[in-house]
Amino acid sequence: MALITRLQFDNNIDLPISLPATEIGAGDWLTIAAVKISATTTSLNFRCLNLNLLKVTTTGGDPVKIDASRGWVYTSLAHSVDGIETGHYVDASALGLTAHTLSSEFDGNTVGVYTITIKNNLSNASIWASVTGQFRLTAAV
């Protein structure tokens, strides 16, 4: 097993994905983090994301989902300004904490912008949520 060199260590940085408890209106969304990759020699590794659904306030009746295939709220990793989803997301349809599986990694080195967004997938309720996660950026040695 190879040991890492000082140069390899220096070429890594962990970038935060952090949203303190925030209210998101019905159908609304927020960009929590954005990382621009400008050279294919830089790679982004994503694996850790925790979505904490704190509160749901409906305007009456049961919550109504906009996208039936997703939960009440979801946080997803997308690429480029067009927001092409990478398939890595965490969604929740109940109060409490939901975590992305650490063993399900995403490695990307396509030039462009990677974003983490949180979307309130309910048309009749506002939600409170917090998010904690991390990207690791690695430059080629």
**What is the Cα–Cα distance from 135 to 141, expressed in whole angstroms?**
18
In terms of CB distance, is 14 or 28 closer to another protein? 14
**What is the Cα–Cα distance from 49 to 33, expressed in whole angstroms?**
12
Count other Cβ atoms within 10 Å, centred on residue 15: 14
Residues 77-116: x/- map of binding to another protein (CB under 8 A)? -------------------xxxx--x--------------
In terms of CB distance, is 36 or 55 closer to another protein? 55
Q: Does 31 bind another protein (CB under 8 A)?
A: no
Q: What is the DSSP string of 47-86?
A: EEEEEEEEEEEESSSS--BSSTTS-SEEEEEEETTTTEEE
Closest CA to 37 of 117, 115, 141, 133: 115
Residues 44-83: x/- map of binding to another protein (CB under 8 A)? -x-xx-xxx-xx----------------------------
In terms of CB distance, is 53 or 122 closer to another protein? 53
In terms of CB distance, is 45 or 124 closer to another protein? 45
